[in-house]
Structure 1
Amino acid sequence: MLLYPANPMEAGDLAKILPHLEDRACASIMPQEVRNLGPTLYPMGSTDTWQRHVVTPVRAVINNAHDLGKCPPIRIKAYPKAERLKQDRARGRKSRVEKTPGSWEWLLAFRTKANRYQAAMAHFMFVTGARIGQAVALRPADLDLQNARVWMPEAKGMEAQWVDIPMDLVVELANLPPRRPRKGPHGKTRVKEARVFGYANKDGVYKAWKTACKKAGISEIMPHAAGRHGFATEMLVRQKLDARTVAKAGRWADLTLMQKTYTHAEDATGKVQAALRTGRVQATKATAAKARGSKRKSASG
């Protein structure tokens, strides 16, 4: 594990895993053994938690060692659906609860009660598909308001790039004074550089965000669902843009992932029932027209 350049989150995960695998050659570690560590380390976690905090870091360490010529690679299957459902029953709650995406109606209501920085940030994420981490990382130098664009930080395999923004957001950002966010115990210290939306990291966003939702009397939709999920659903489902255009604008490298994870059917039951009624009416009319045609043909014969 010393060969692997772990980030702080991975290092924390590996510290919990190491006592169970230390003094072992990588080649001796079996895939099922790694999967079994999930329920051992996180007995009340979901299979997604096991995958993210156990399988993924172990696989990364071993395959990194393989790249360095130290051992064979390892392939670890994901936890099957049956195991996910079994674990959900055991812990008494459902994993993979579908997110409710943001919408223009939700955003406008949220902005009436949010502070000006969160109002602008929610607007920014919804119209660009930005992640919360990208939004809080923005610095004044990342704004090119003369050309109505923002230098979007890299995220999840997508490189940093210029992203166009609408003119109403340009005006809002131009009138939003950058501020140095607080950091540390009780907010006593401040980050050296100012941030566009005034937050040091995403953890500082949620409390005020929830308060704004409550005051506005709207569903408590968290930033990622309100922004990135909202952007995809707005573009694909409500405005019916083609998937490739949306994927490019929202910076999705994987078209299938975007369609599977980030788009949400709205009023599916109502739409299906309406479609069934429409189909029945059309079939009834067609049947009646055919019957009339047959009668006329018989009468003329």
Structure 2
Amino acid sequence: MPLEPYERDGWWWFKGRIDRIPGGKYYRQSSCVPVAAPKKDAEAAIAAFELKEIKRDLVGDERALSFADAVLLYPANPMEAGDLARILPNIEDRAVASITPQEVRNLGALLYPLGSTDTWQRHVVTPVRAVINNAHDLGKCPPIRIKSYSKADRLKQDRARGKKSRVEKVPGSWEWLLAFRAEANRYQAAMAHFMFVTGARISQAVALRPADLDLQNARVWMPEAKGMEEQWVDIPMDLVVEIANLPPRRPRKGPHGKTRMKEARVFGYANKDGVYKAWKTACKRAGIAEIMPHAAGRHGFGTEMLVRQKLDPRTVASAGRWADLALMQKTYTHAEDATGKVQAALRTGRVQATKAASAKARKAKAKSA
């Protein structure tokens, strides 16, 4: 018998076999269409299901799996879900096995024509690759490998949009931090101090709860971030005193901040988005460079420890919770006064070479005499 719709618990279900699949199985399942909707909507959903099953029977599971099907199998977080919602209309009906790496890379320019190649990588290539490889892990399709955009791709796109990407961050310093703290509210002043001396990310700082503090032992329970597990992190005594005198606040949440969170936060913010406006205002009032929290904190910590204080990289990576030593040195440390240092080194080298040449000449002259 062909697939027939019927009502069950407020939904349109269907049952029966598909005539075009000889010896096919018997189906009894929901069409995912509520009874409140017209019956023709349920019939359309059943027809689409039937076509998909016929295709699967003809070409096999791998060739029948569409990108939309693969997305349903993927446990996306809210950010990934937003990216996938924008990607789906372009390839949702495509068989996953037929999607090529170049096709995915081309989607970046289509969806974000004024974006950088880093934006394309983060919001297009990464989520598509994650969806397809997750389906592969479940045995549904072949995996996919997609090369990153090259430096030439990045420069070409920067010229097209008239804007440079990968502008190097200016790291925070003690001088900058002291000036910022003098003008910031007490919660942002303490948070900036905390991020600079621990290398914490802004997401970790705003997530801290009073229960995460062990001030008697001068430490905090740092939340996990980017692959690093949560752990105890030591803090200096001046910060212990500052946090001890900082009343925890229940941040506002919801539309226009009408309601408050049930749980208090150490620095009084619900999420990182609530930090930036007051942060910029403090920078302006202090008359200092507008260095945002991540650069002021984590980049500042890395540069302070490695470049200014000249600690060994492994010690800094351990204290700042970097799993990848090379990434820390490449991304989170910044050369300071590079031109001045190079010119000074050149002058020093020239003086040393001149002295050596003069000494050699005097020695040769004395020997000939």
For residues 57-76 of structure 1, the aligned pairs below 5 Å read 57-76=127-146
2:94 is matched with: 24
Deviates more, 1:176-185 or 1:132-141: 176-185
1:166 is matched with: 236
Is the aligned partner of 1:182 residue 2:261? no
1:93 is matched with: 163
Which among 161, 180, 192 is matched to residue 110 of structure 1? 180
Separation (CA, whole Å) in 1 of partners of 2:231 and 2:183 = 32
SS at match of 2:73: coil
Q: Which runs of 5+ in 2 are unaligned?
A: 1-70
SS at match of 2:233: strand
Per-residue deviation, residues 28-72 of structure 1 (Å, max 9, x unmatched): 110000000001111111111100000000000001011111111
Is the aligned partner of 1:154 residue 2:228? no
2:299 is matched with: 229
Per-residue deviation, residues 248-298 of structure 1 (Å, max 9, x unmatched): 110011111111111100000000000000001111111111112122222
1:242 is matched with: 312
Which among 209, 213, 218 is matched to residue 288 of structure 2? 218
1:276 is matched with: 346
2:150 is matched with: 80
SS at match of 2:197: helix
Cα RMSD after superposing both structures: 0.7
SS at match of 1:151: strand
Separation (CA, whole Å) in 2 of partners of 1:216 and 1:185 = 31
Look up the equivalent residue of 2:363 and give its one-letter code. Answer: G
Deviates more, 1:244-253 or 1:287-296: 287-296
Separation (CA, whole Å) in 1 of partners of 2:365 and 2:217 = 69
For residues 6-25 of structure 1, the aligned pairs below 5 Å read 6-25=76-95
Per-residue deviation, residues 94-138 of structure 1 (Å, max 9, x unmatched): 110000000000000000000000000000000000000000000
Which among 140, 143, 154 is matched to residue 210 of structure 2? 140
1:39 is matched with: 109
Is the aligned partner of 1:296 residue 2:336? no
For residues 45-56 of structure 1, the aligned pairs below 5 Å read 45-56=115-126
Structure 1 runs of 4+ aligned residues shifted over 6 Å read none
TM-score normalised over the length of structure 2? 0.80
Residue 24 of structure 1, CA deviation: 1.9
Separation (CA, whole Å) in 1 of partners of 2:220 and 2:367 = 69
Separation (CA, whole Å) in 2 of partners of 1:248 and 1:29 = 41
1:124 is matched with: 194
Residue 152 of structure 1, CA deviation: 0.4
Separation (CA, whole Å) in 2 of partners of 1:209 and 1:52 = 26
Per-residue deviation, residues 118-163 of structure 1 (Å, max 9, x unmatched): 0000000000000000000000010111111110000000000000
Separation (CA, whole Å) in 2 of partners of 1:197 and 1:246 = 25
Look up the equivalent residue of 1:156 and give its one-letter code. Answer: K
Task: Choose between structure 1 and 2 for higher RCO, CA contacts under 8 A separated by at least 6 residues.
Answer: 1
Separation (CA, whole Å) in 2 of partners of 1:8 and 1:113 = 35
Separation (CA, whole Å) in 2 of partners of 1:276 and 1:72 = 56
Residue 186 of structure 1, CA deviation: 2.0
* Structure with the largest fraction of strand: 2
Separation (CA, whole Å) in 1 of partners of 2:311 and 2:98 = 50
Q: Which runs of 5+ in 1 are unaligned?
A: none
Look up the equivalent residue of 2:99 and give its one-letter code. Answer: I
Aligned residues: 299
